């Protein structure tokens, strides 16, 4: 009888330890980013503050000019010459982190050259990488693809992207993104799948035209569309035909593109990203 009681006591202690003393160790997270105008920095700080994560900036030794055209010209020249900018060494010991968020502005359809330089000189094998970016119209999907090719032994998780014209949406969207991907606890709205694509109606064409009106880098005609409900509104996924641009007749159209548009109740339609 004493032996049975002793065994029961040992089992209770073991079960208590399993429930209270063997919690899964929290992942150590680093938010690493390059920012030129401050937009990517704002997203990085939002993520780091929400997660209580370490944060560090990737800094180019020879900073890019804040002038848009000067940056484009330099970036284009570097790409043509096959050179990368020098960056300051990252101070964080990346080997100590389980998850690394990597942020950047999108230039020429992918991450900015200082991030290319970083990825070219680091081994992120076995790490979980979360890309996040800011852009004029799009580039999340293409840049994530490039990152996976640059770090084939890392696990590239779903990324977040936001247009520079929509920075006011960052706090709410980051909250949803971190909860939906398991980095934060709490309730969030799980999005449903888009409906099947169908030819656009006149009303849907008006939504598309209103959303893209005034953006010089996007000249397209909506062909088909699908929709889904989002909190406080509707999200549209347009398949559109890219058209020649009057300001750059030598630039060939991209062909078929996808344009995501959000219409929050009572507000003007805005496009959130383009996939070329």
- The tokens describing 274, both together, are 């383009």
One domain, residues 172 and 35? yes
Does residue 128 share a domain with residue 206? Answer: no
Within-domain flag for 15: no
Full-model pTM: 0.88
Q: Are 166 and 91 members of one domain?
A: yes
Q: Categorize the per-residue pLDDT at 253 as very low, low, confident or very high, splitting at 50, 70 and 90.
A: low
State mean pLDDT over 111-128: 97
**What pLDDT does residue 67 have?**
84
**Whole-number pLDDT of residue 249:** 62
The answer on 220 and 130 residing in a single domain is no
Residue 65 has what pLDDT? 84
Q: Which of 3-12, 119-128, 168-177, 223-232 has the lowest mean pLDDT?
A: 3-12
Contacts of 190 (CB under 8 A, 6+ apart): 180
Do 263 and 210 have their domain in common?
Answer: yes
Looking at the 3D structure of the chain, how many domains does it have?
A: 2
Judge whether 212 lies within some domain: yes
Asked whether residue 163 falls in the same domain as residue 40, the answer is: yes
Q: Tell me how far apart the 2 most distant CA atoms of the chain are, in Å.
A: 93
pLDDT of 221 > 70? The answer is yes
Question: Residue 132: inside a domain, yes or no?
Answer: yes
Do 232 and 127 lie in one domain? The reply is: no
Q: Which domain holds residue 96?
A: 29-180
Q: What pLDDT shows up at residue 85?
A: 96
Q: Are 252 and 231 in contact (CB under 8 A)?
A: no
């Amino acid at each position: 009888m004493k032996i049975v009681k002793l065994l029961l006591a040992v089992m209770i202690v073991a079960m208590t330890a399993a429930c209270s003393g063997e919690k899964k160790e929290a992942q150590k997270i680093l938010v690493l980013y390059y920012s030129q105008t401050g937009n990517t920095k704002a997203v990085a700080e939002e993520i780091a503050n929400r997660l209580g994560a370490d944060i560090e900036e990737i800094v180019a030794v020879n900073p890019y000019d804040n002038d848009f055209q000067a940056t484009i010209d330099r970036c284009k020249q570097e790409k043509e010459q096959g050179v990368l900018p020098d960056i300051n060494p990252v101070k964080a010991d990346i080997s100590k982190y389980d998850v690394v968020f990597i942020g950047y502005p999108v230039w020429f359809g992918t991450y900015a050259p200082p991030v290319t330089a970083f990825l070219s000189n680091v081994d992120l094998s076995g790490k979980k990488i979360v890309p996040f970016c800011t852009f004029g119209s799009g580039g999340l999907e293409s840049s994530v693809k490039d990152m996976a090719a640059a770090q084939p032994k890392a696990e590239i998780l779903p990324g977040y992207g936001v247009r520079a014209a929509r920075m006011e949406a960052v706090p709410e969207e980051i909250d949803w993104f971190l909860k939906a991907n398991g980095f934060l606890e709490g309730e969030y709205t799980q999005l449903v799948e888009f409906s099947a694509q169908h030819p656009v109606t006149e009303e849907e064409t008006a939504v598309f035209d209103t959303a893209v009106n005034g953006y010089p880098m996007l000249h397209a005609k909506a062909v088909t569309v699908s929709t889904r409900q989002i909190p406080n509104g509707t999200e549209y996924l347009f398949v559109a035909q890219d058209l020649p641009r009057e300001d750059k007749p030598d630039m060939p159209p991209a062909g078929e593109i996808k344009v995501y548009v959000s219409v929050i109740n009572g507000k003007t339609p805005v496009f959130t990203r383009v996939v070329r």
